[in-house]
Amino acid sequence: MTDMIPRLFGTSGIRGKIGSEITLNLITDVGMAAATYVGGKGRKAVIGYDTRTSNKMVENAIIAGILQCGCDVIRLGMVPTPLVGYAAMKLNADIGIMITASHNPSQYNGIKLWNPKGMAYTQDQERTIEKIVHEKSFSKVSWEHIGDIKDNSSIISGYMDDLLNNVDIKGGLKVVVDCANGAGSFVSPIVLRKAGCEVLTLNSQPDGFFPGRMPEPSEANLSELMKVVKATGADLGIAHDGDADRMVAIDDEGKMADFDKLLALVSSKIGGKIVTTVDASFCVDKCMKESGGEVVRTKVGDVHVAEAIVECNASFGGEPSGTWLHPDFCMCPDGILSALKVIEIVEKYGPLSKLLNEIPSYPTVRDKIECENIQKTLIMEKVKEELPDYFEDVNDVNFIDGVRISMKDGSWVLIRPSGTESYIRITLEGRTVEIAQSIRNKSREFIEGIL
């Protein structure tokens, strides 16, 4: 029955262009649905937002919906996403709501929902919200039971203190932090300074137009950060996305840390059982095996990683994109805590460039092809039917998330639709650069042939 209900949630919340895909009517309906879901009268929601120009408008719309169903609201103001998850847990809220489009451009906005444990809503919970919105089955209250609004900014200092208590950093490293003019602009530099680091900042003045760089922390967008790290002799650089639930690192040589190698490094130092996604490199498995740990793989998306962490009682989980979860702190992805963890490792074990060079390299390619959302289902049906026969020496076919083809030599390719943008994503790993390039070309040829 729920298969007939339109999807609102992607791999990381509801997200789209303001005015067309994300309308104020939709936002108000989501607010009413969220309040209805948690029980309405007597319940409370914590709400934060990033720096986007549409955020206060969206906040007002979602609060209007929440109040209509009798739920109280605690406004946190402009804060990073991980602080919303933390606040939901610490303030005993029934739901956490973050208004953000994460790494998407300025014209986008969206909503992420968190449960009282600071964990992203599961797929089943998201489908329930979608069902309430679709059926308009809101539990509205009469005028005398409308919810109340309070502000709470003091939770920020508690969050920073708890972050610092979660790591053992003596201090002294020079760190350049680039916050993308996003929600981490205040908190991240302050936390790093409190940890004893000498901090230089880039793009750390909040601005929803993202004038310094686009909020996606990709190599193309971080050229300035890489130059500054090298020019100033910094020990490393840290870059966040728009809402600071992600972190990527620049090593001491001014080079962007390989996503998979960085995940493998941190995973091996934390140890135990860790969770990662189907698109992560084999180097994660190799490093965990050497350290006596175990790897569990799941679908792409921090929601799936969080569910798997709980299910198998893992010590850590993360995606190669830099979205990492630290379950001993909070079940919300936290780019600021991830930065502290990397700093702690560099302080204890040596330069980041040296640590990453010790991890085996397998040429990895991440590519994407533009594809309208309405085309994705048809294209992926074709991929499932035809891709396994398109490659030679296929050893395994996995449908856990999209289609992943593994070859006998250990190379693999994953084709899946983006859950947040109008793309078909291609992720692959080859035993040599030539093999990786060949797989990429063949995969693009296959998808473009369908399109």
Long-range contacts: 430-436, Cβ < 8 Å, 24+? 430/362, 430/363, 430/365, 431/362, 431/363, 432/363, 433/363, 435/363, 435/409, 435/411, 436/363, 436/364, 436/365, 436/411
Alpha-carbon separation of residue 260 from 61, 263, 285 (angstroms)? 39, 5, 11
102 is catalytic: yes
- Residue 243 marked ligand-binding: yes
Q: Which residues contact 201 (CB under 8 A, 6 or more apart)?
A: 176, 177, 178, 179, 189
Q: Which of 12, 102, 204, 267 is catalytic?
A: 102
Task: Report how far residue 13's alpha carbon sits from residue 99's, in angstroms, rounded to the nearest whole number.
Answer: 10
Name the phi and psi angles at 434, rounded to 5. -65, -45
Name the phi and psi angles at 277, rounded to 5. -100, 170
- Residue 409 marked ligand-binding: no
At which residue do the structure tokens 């291609």 appear? 426
Q: Where are the alpha helices (DSSP H) in 249-351?
A: 259-270, 282-290, 302-312, 335-349
User: Structure tokens of 92?
Assistant: 């005993």
- The angle subtended at Cα 379 by Cα 373 and Cα 384, nearest 5°, is 135
Amino acid found at 293: G
Beta partners for residue 101, in sequence order: none
The helix/strand/coil state of 298 is strand
Residues in the chain: 451
Task: Report how far residue 146's alpha carbon sits from residue 142's, in angstroms, rounded to the nearest whole number.
Answer: 7
At which residue do the structure tokens 């969050």 appear? 159
- Residue 241 marked ligand-binding: yes
- Residue 281 marked ligand-binding: no
Q: Which residues contact 127 (CB under 8 A, 6 or more apart)?
A: 2, 5
Residue 112: name the closest of 81, 90, 71 by CA.
Answer: 81
Compute, in degrees rounded to 10, the torsion defined by CA atoms 306, 307, 312, 314: 0
Which strands form 247-250's sheet, in the order they lie side by side?
Answer: 198-202, 174-178, 236-240, 247-250
Residues annotated catalytic, as ranges = 102
Annotated binding-site positions for Mg(2+): 102, 241, 243, 245
Annotated binding-site positions: 102, 241, 243, 245
